[in-house]
Every structure is written in C-alpha cells, then in structure tokens.
Structure 1
C-alpha cells in the first residue's frame, strides 16, 4: 500500500455523554466520561493505519502529558509521528465534546498547539515517497503551501476544511486540491465562496449517504444504523474513501467503503473505532 500523509489538527478530546443537553441555566448529569487522542488529522491517520495503509502525520502538540499520550496512541496504531511538532510554550489543544442520547455532538474548543506546524516541517524525502496528501482544518497559508509542495512531487491531494470553511481564507488551498470533502452546510458555503470547477466534491450526507460531484454524479445511499456518537464519523469516512481510492477502487466502491467506515464509527462511542477490511466488507455485504 502506498504512503499517505495526513496534515492537520491533533487534539486531546474529553468526551462527555449526557441524556440531553441542558436548558439555559440548567444542569444535567454526565452519564459517561472518556478522554483520548482526537483531532481530524489524527483520526483519519489512525483510520488509514487500521486499513493497512502506510501513513505519516504532520501536526502539532504541546510538551505535556496529553501531547505525549496522543503521540503514543498514534504510534501504537502504526502511524509515523516523526513529523509531529512539539511546541513547548503551548498546551496540547483540548476539545470538550458533549454527546447526547441521539448521538448528536456539541464541541467546545480550547486553543493550543495544533496549528504550530509549518509546511517546511515535512521533508522533501517524505513527499517524494508518498502518493497522496490528505489535509484537514489548519492554518490556511500552511495548507496552501503543503498542497503546492505535494503537487510539485506528483501527489494527489484531498482536503477536508471542516466547519470553519467560511471564515478562514481557504481559497488558495482549495484551488490546489483534487478532492474536497464537505458536509451539506459546508458545501453550501463553498459553492458560494469558491470556484470549484476543478475539484471533485465528496459530499458527506450523514444518514442520506454520500455522493461525488465533478460534472457527473455518483451517489451511495449509506447504511441504516442506530447512531451512538457521530464524533469522528466524517474522519472515518475520509479514511475509507482515501484507502479505497489509492488501492485502485472505482468511485462506487470508494463511496461504499467510506460510508461503511463512517457508519462503523458512528455505532460506537468516541471518535476512533478500530476499522478492518473484514468489518468493512461484512458491512457492505461482500
């Protein structure tokens, strides 16, 4: 399997499960609490490693216990973390994730070290050995430069800019990528703000499945599941799509795999659920 590089946020997630979100000035009990590594780039990297890919991560953490544990989790999963930057003056970025009984998610973020890396932190030799670069939410200038460097080395590039696509100036980065991962809300913003005629849009539509648009439309209806926690489902979707794509799958197969990976994660608590090809193929019915 060819090498894939993931670049973007690496966080420490504290997930709190509740039966329902409280009303203003109200209070509800926490039914479960867990902590572990998170961040969209970290989640995608682990999903790719689970699916047998050779994957390296470019990101940033603080010089603290959370940063060390986040690195250890990635290393244990088989991800190359030699290009994860440690920022001694900043803490590892924390996200507090509240999940209600329907699996819907609310995120509270604390600033930290997850955007302290630069495009120059990725050596030329690493790019020369890779086939694909997947970027997630990060500093817009870093994203644009990473995409440019990847193109110089002949890599295909995908980008999942996340919920802040409308206010972070991602135009130069988006113009340099082939595949753009978006949910419905993000797609509405992107279609208004950017010229997307050169990009293949991979639209994540939750319970309605997913589709690819690039002048033609390929759709997959998804799978009926009982949702437990949607945290990380979009990252698992991206991991499945990229793993299938670099393995030579056609678009229908790539969407089926992506939807299966997203559904497998959404059926379990937390942002990361172990993915295997046996589980994916069983879910698809192959």
Structure 2
C-alpha cells in the first residue's frame, strides 16, 4: 500500500490570539491568550495523516531563524524531514484572531515558504506516493507558484492524484493558474465561501459543471450544516457532529487529512466523508490548528 502523501502548502509561524470581539478601526483591545507555534495547513493535514498511520512528506523551505525549531519538532514527532530545507529569508506567518463566537480571522504574511524547487523532492520518495495535497494558499506566490504546474503534470503522468484544497485566498490565485490546478485535480475541497468564489471566478452555472474524468469529487463543507459532496453520478450529504467547539482553526485541515487517509485505505466515499467529518469536529474542541497526536478521539 502506498502510505506516503506529499504535501505542498508551506510551513509558517502561527500566532493565535484569543479576544472577545475583533477590534474596530482605530480601537485598542485586550487579548485573553496568545500562542505561537510552527503551523500552516500542510502541517495540520500531516498531523492527522500521521495520526491515522500514514506517512506525510511535507515539502517546505523555511527561514534560517526558524529551521532548527522546525527540525526539532519534526524529529520529536517522527515526521520525515527529507523535504524540509532552509533558505535565507523570513518564514511567513499567520496571525489568527479568535473571537467569542469561536470563528477565526487570518492575517497572512508571505515568506520564503512559497519557494518551489523540486530538486528538494527526491524521486525515490515519490515511488510510494499516490496522493499529493495542494493548498490553495501555496498558489499566491507569483512566479514561484507557476513552477508547481509542470511538476504536478509529471506526477499525474506517473499515476499520482491531486487533492486541491482551495483555501481562504482562492480569490487571489492568478486565474490561469487556478484553472490549471482545477484541471489537474482529482478532488477539490472548499468551504461554502471558497466554492462560491470558484464558481464566480470560473464563471460556472453550478460547481458540478467542472466534473469530468479527471476531477471526480468536489467537497463543499458548510460548518454546522455538514458537507455536500458532488460526484458525477450523485450527490452525498453528511451532517455535522455535535461537539463543544472552542476554536475552529484547522478543522478543515483535519477533515482533509482524515479524508485522504481514508481514501488510501480504499474506503467508500461515504465512509471517507463520515470519518473526515468526525476528525474535523474533534479539531474544534481544542485550541490551535493541529489535533495533538496524543489526544484521545471523541
């Protein structure tokens, strides 16, 4: 079984700030808590994959200042460090504001984690990879993002499949790059807002208009309203799981990680969705974007 998953999304520094209400323009507010840690959607997805006994390969450049901390975390949690490398420059960051509704607002700074050089992805590692996770946030780095397409095309010719997670910056992806990545994907996932943006940007009458022999599954997550998944032959709906949510950060990433892991296990699409929904819900019951590897399942 091919248990390895290549993750293209870039590592960044997450700073989570909890407050009662988001500030108005010019307003000064107090925050209740502050946490700083290595993060990024690919790390969140990778943690869930590892939790479900898969082997995530995170590809990312990281600044010299943060490299030792990243390498230490990877070593402590037994992540493969092969595709992690350091470069001169500053690692990007994401400031996450969490208000009393438990929703989150992101402030993202792009750094050298968006650099792409496939020489840092050994070909022998790819022999055991079936799925490649692609974060939409990784496609807003200009010319660096354009370098990804030829690599993805070659990987598809080798039998790899692309899971394209649209991400909150989907409206900022250059339109031709967005179209190319959609056309290369086997699965696309987005929340309600991200799917609506994709429909508008591609000028579709309905999201199912892009389903074809390559793109087989489109997943639309809707928070407490569960998810709707579009297949060429039918539509699947899965309700949300009732939990005591305290922070929705990373819930979508946990969903994706569990879904990919379940696909690797050759489960049905319905089973994949149910398991993904469970883990997406678990992710909202603790702070931060990652479900700790030692936390018990709900």
TM-score normalised over the length of structure 1: 0.90
**Residues 206, 143 of structure 1: CA spacing in aligned structure 2 closer, same or farther, 3 A cutoff?**
farther
Tell me the residue number matched to 1:27: 28
Tell me the residue number matched to 1:45: 46
Tell me the residue number matched to 1:67: 67
Tell me the residue number matched to 1:158: 163
Tell me the residue number matched to 2:107: 108
Moved more, 192-201 or 152-161: 192-201
Tell me the residue number matched to 2:76: 76
Q: Contact 1:127–1:153 (CA<8 Å) still a contact in 2? A: no
Q: Contact 1:50–1:77 (CA<8 Å) still a contact in 2? A: no
**Residues 166, 56 of structure 1: CA spacing in aligned structure 2 closer, same or farther, 3 A cutoff?**
same
Deviation at 1:262, TM superposition (A): 1.0
2:114 is paired with a residue whose SS is coil
The whole-number CA distance in structure 2 between the counterparts of 1:134 and 1:276 is: 24
Deviation at 1:254, TM superposition (A): 0.6
Does residue 1:196 correspond to 2:206, yes or no?
no
2:267 is paired with a residue whose SS is coil
The whole-number CA distance in structure 2 between the counterparts of 1:142 and 1:43 is: 24
1:227 is paired with a residue whose SS is coil
Q: Contact 1:46–1:77 (CA<8 Å) still a contact in 2? A: no
Q: Contact 1:211–1:255 (CA<8 Å) still a contact in 2? A: no
**Residues 214, 277 of structure 1: CA spacing in aligned structure 2 closer, same or farther, 3 A cutoff?**
farther
CA deviation map 1:233-285 (0-9, x unaligned): 11111001111111111111111111111111111111111257972xxx4xx
**Residues 117, 85 of structure 1: CA spacing in aligned structure 2 closer, same or farther, 3 A cutoff?**
farther
The whole-number CA distance in structure 2 between the counterparts of 1:118 and 1:18 is: 39
Q: Contact 1:46–1:74 (CA<8 Å) still a contact in 2? A: no
Unaligned segments of structure 1, at least 5 residues = none
The whole-number CA distance in structure 2 between the counterparts of 1:180 and 1:226 is: 28
4+ aligned runs moved over 6 Å, structure 1? none
Deviation at 1:186, TM superposition (A): 1.1
What count of residue pairs does the alignment treat as equivalent?
278
Deviation at 1:16, TM superposition (A): 0.9
Matches within 5 A, 1:132-143: 132-136=131-135, 137-139=137-139, 140-143=145-148
The whole-number CA distance in structure 2 between the counterparts of 1:166 and 1:135 is: 16
Unaligned segments of structure 2, at least 5 residues = 140-144, 203-208
